[in-house]
Chain A
Amino acid sequence: KQEVTQIPAALSVPEGENLVLNCSFTDSAIYNLQWFRQDPGKGLTSLLLIQSSQREQTSGRLNASLDKSSGRSTLYIAASQPGDSATYLCAAQETSGSRLTFGEGTQLTVNP
């Protein structure tokens, strides 16, 4: 059974800082790994999706890496802004079309 863990559970940083969010998964046989953003009372916004054959994906100030052999993914946010404040979720998909297994998220606060 796949389990996904995110560390830290909460993070507070000053504006402008670069930061790393961590995600680990127990079963390395994944199809893809996805990072989402969730704002309070809102739905999920997909940020980056990394296929199992890829090592990283980049979108603007965001960079996600994937190391299947060690069961880890990181989300790197450069030059953080107050608007980045949200909960960040990672989710592993084991096979094409199957369920997503989510971590419990990292609640990020970027202070102006």
Chain B
Amino acid sequence: NAGVMQNPRHLVRRRGQEARLRCSPMKGHSHVYWYRQLPEEGLKFMVYLQKENIIDESGMPKERFSAEFPKEGPSILRIQQVVRGDSAAYFCASSPDMNTEAFFGQGTRLTVV
């Protein structure tokens, strides 16, 4: 049973480009969480999704950021028109239900140049 898989592990984008970060949850997990870790800071919650539904997006920046978790396929965190301040490590976690602890992926390290 593979763990939470995130790809790519490292992503470099120029300012103004779009970044797409993918998260494949563990088998049987239908709950996905995204967190961001800015340099020298702690992890901050961004969004909580279940299959095809956004449950809590209170941590998402209002503009340029969006997330989805379709019925089939991985969860996608999309950042449009990236800026240097978006450079961070983005972590995904998944759980099978609300009452079970979530397991984290290895993260995607986004660098905006």
Contacts and interface: CB of A to CB of B under 8 A. Distances in A.
Interface string B71-102: 00000000000000000000100010111011
A43 interface: yes
A105 B56 CA distance: 25
Contact of A99 (B33, B95, B109): B33
Counting contact residues on chain B (CB < 8 A from A), the size range is 20 to 34
Contacts of A66: none
Interface residues of A, number: 23
Contacts of B109: 41
Interface in B6-46: 31, 33, 35, 41-45
A42 B43 contact: no
How would you classify the secondary structure of chain A's contact residues: helix, strand, loop or mixed? strand
Interface of B: 31, 33, 35, 41-45, 48, 55-56, 59, 91, 95, 97-99, 101-107, 109
Interface of A: 4, 32, 34, 36, 41-46, 49, 89, 91, 96-105
